[in-house]
Amino acid sequence: MCLGISGSFSIVYSVEFDFYHPYIYYLFRKNLNYIMKTTVFVLLVALCATVYSNYTDNNYVKGEVIIMLKPGELSDNLTKSFGFINLRVKESVVDYMNIWLFEYDDSKIESTVILTELRKNRYVAIAQMNHYINERSVVTPNDPSFGLQWGMNNTGQTIQGSPGTPDADIDAPEAWGLNTSGLTAAGDTIVVAIVDGGFYLTHPDIKFWKNYNEIPSNGIDDDLNGYIDDVNGWNAVSNNGNLGSSTHGSHCSGIAGARGNNSLGVSGVNWNVQIMGVQGSTSQEVVALRAYGYCLKQRMMYNQTNGLKGAFVVVTSSSFGVDYGQPANYPLWCAFYDSLGVNGILSAGATANLNINIDNTGDIPTACPSDWLITVTNTTNTDAKNSGAAYGLTTIDLGAPGTNVYSTTSAGNYANMTGTSMATPHVAGAVAFMYSVAPLSWIQQYKLTPGPYALQVKQNIMQGVDIKPSMVNTVSGGRLNLYNSALLMQNLTPVNGNNSEVPVNYKLYQNYPNPFNPTTVITFDMPKEGFASLKIYNALGQEVAVLAEGIIQAGIQHKVFNAQNLPSGIYFYKLITDGFTDVKKMSLIK
């Protein structure tokens, strides 16, 4: 992360309405959260762009650049300034955020030069290349006799010759005993946005969301949301409401929300949730931005109209990305998770289908530093990490079933598929499930201040995991457990007698000094007395020291770490307390 500063940063300004904007949060993510509504802050982004200058960025469309103009600035101003390379608008990507796709004559200038010059320009807020992205899927052979979903309920059944481990699952049947309605306590219809390569909208086992405020095929934006004929969602590839077909997209949709208890096919994590289909997982990065822009706009309209328009989208699920991608090269993509988050939408992202440490190699999106992003790796029917899935003590949050997962595919059909793609909708479905069991008072407070309350959902997902040795190199240290997390949401208690649940503000600070030799001080906040664990790990994920393990008094805590007997290198410190988990990196230099 830029300058070693972690956290979250969003800029707010008013166009037609107030909303949080993803404006160069890299510089001061933890320091400038939720500042001065309707105020525009102009900051330089060039510093962050140079932090990872040792990484080669050549995974982009030649002659194209994605630019966010500063609020109120016109694209014509920029094209006039760069007429010498014939800079011109190719399309408006997300109009209400002033994000544009430009093209230019790349024979007249090097891409690195044009990017540097654009970032200096007074009309430009953020400039980056339009990167290529790839769908993440590992398809396994169909198994017509496979009728048991081990990820939901593992009885030890054998999967492709490998006996399973009983209870190596998310405890779905136990959670279904709490709620299967697909509604919040306030009556909101819960929506999961699946961003993927297409969908079989006629599959009888999936309830796809429909925009009933839009009249089909009349060529008019009936609900005035900026999208014409988006009855079934949005195709961000072709920029219209005509969604293509994809077994991968339908498979992910079924994992999150296949209809349950209907004597047909399989059960999703949610029996009655609605799936918003958004086609946008292939081709170029600009497509992903358009896709996320559609999800955000639907939720913003829901918030603004008190549910009369838009959709109550609480989570996006994305199973695509860029192997070894560095966040500094993808500022808009990473920042979009903050913009979604402060409007109440968490995002579940699939990590790479490679046995690599994302902390060291980078990845898009799972190295993005947004607090509202939940990053997911792939577990097997024995609770092992899939040997072809990535990990990371500071970047990958948890594991979820993703190997030989049986779900919906083409219309009326089902099949097994493997990959982090399959693990991620398990988590997205679990996030949506949290809203169906949350108390009414919590839902009411969430609607007033959705950003921080969405983070409480993430905390409950992280705290509810089953701790597993195979997940030691993840932030939570465990595999998704739907039932545990649902109990945490269901049993939220009012604070100060005012009938509202307010997230407790735990915090883990960057150690000082850093780099250090041989001692450094690690500080964390305990807003109330309780159990806390603070441990030190080396770069291999091996525990090397325990600084706290037990009941800690309320207040600011300072712990001294003496590394006199340890070699130079990168180390991590991890705090776990009352549903809060955080990990930070430090350097020992002798």
Domain membership flag for residue 287: yes
> Exposed, middle or buried: residue 27 (CB in 10 Å: 0-12, 13-18, 19+)?
middle
Same domain, 522 and 482: no
pLDDT for residue 495: 38
**Mean pLDDT, rounded, for 114-134:** 92
Contact 504, 495 (CB under 8 A): no
- Rounded (10°) angle between helices 420-437 and 482-490: 20
**Rounded to whole angstroms, how far apart are CA atoms 33 and 12?**
10
Query: In which residue are the tokens 């430090």 written?
Result: 586
Do both 231 and 333 map to the same domain? yes
**Final residue of a structural domain among 94, 113, 134:** 134
The whole-angstrom distance between residue 34's C-alpha and the CA centroid of its chain comes to: 19
**Are 231 and 290 contained in the same domain?**
yes
Is residue 540 scored above 70 in pLDDT?
yes
Confirm whether 286 is domain-assigned.
yes
Stretch 15-27: mean pLDDT: 35
Same domain, 485 and 511: no
Question: Does some domain include residue 152?
Answer: no
pLDDT(212) > 70: yes
Whether residue 194 sits in one domain with residue 293: yes
- Three-state SS annotation for 172-227: HHHHHCCCCCCECCCCCEEEEEEEECCCCCCCCCECECCCCCCCCCCCCCCCCCCC
- Nearest to residue 46, comparing CAs of 3, 105, 96, 79? 3
Residues 82, 170, single domain; the answer is no
207 in a domain, yes or no? yes
Q: Say what the pTM is.
A: 0.76
Residues 216 and 342 in one domain: yes
Closest CA to 462 of 575, 365, 317: 575
Choose one of 434, 464, 490: the last residue of a domain.
Answer: 490
Does 170 share its domain with 126? no
Phi, psi of 184 (to 5 degrees): -80, 170
Tell me, yes or no, whether 319 and 276 share the same domain: yes
Would residue 144 count as lying in a domain? no
Handedness of CA 401, 402, 404, 409 (dihedral sign): positive
Distance (Å, rounded) from C-alpha 311 to C-alpha 313? 6
Domain that holds residue 532: 507-588
Most confident of 57-66, 259-268, 338-347: 338-347
* CATH number of the domain within which 545 lies: 2.60.40.1930
The tens digit of pLDDT for each residue in 362-388 reads 999 999 999 999 999 999 999 999 999
Contacts (Cβ under 8 Å, ≥6 apart) of 500: 441, 442, 444, 445, 494
Asked whether residue 449 is domain-assigned, the answer is yes
Structure tokens, 298: 């639907």
Least confident among 7-16, 228-237, 331-340, 457-466: 7-16
pLDDT of 35 > 90? The answer is no
- How many domains does the chain divide into? 3
Confidence of residue 303 (pLDDT cuts 50, 70, 90): very high
**452, 438, 542, 445: which is closest to 490 by C-alpha?**
438
Q: Rounded CA gap, 183 and 437, in Å?
A: 9
Give the mean model confidence (pLDDT) for residues 456-468. 92
Q: What is the DSSP string of 259-323?
A: --SSSSS---SSSSPEEEEEE-SSSBHHHHHHHHHHHHHHHHHHHHHTTSSS-EEEEEEE-EEEE
In a domain, 495, yes or no: no
Q: Are residues 27 and 109 in the same domain?
A: yes
The CATH number of whichever domain residue 481 belongs to comes to 3.40.50.200
The 10s digit of each residue's pLDDT in 556-575 is 788 889 999 999 988 999 99
Sheet bearing 99-103, strands edge to edge: 88-94, 99-103, 60-69, 124-131
Q: Using one digit for the tens of pLDDT, what is the confidence trace for 467-520?
A: 999 999 999 999 999 999 999 998 764 333 333 344 457 888 888 788 888 988
Q: Are residues 389 and 288 in the same domain?
A: yes
Q: pLDDT tier at 137 (50, 70, 90 boundaries)? A: low
> Within this chain, do residues 425 and 464 fall inside the same structural domain, yes or no?
yes
Checking if the pLDDT of 220 tops 60, the result is yes
Supply the pLDDT for residue 364. Answer: 97
- With respect to residue 320, please indicate whether it lies within any of the assigned structural domains: yes
The pLDDT mean for the chain works out to 85
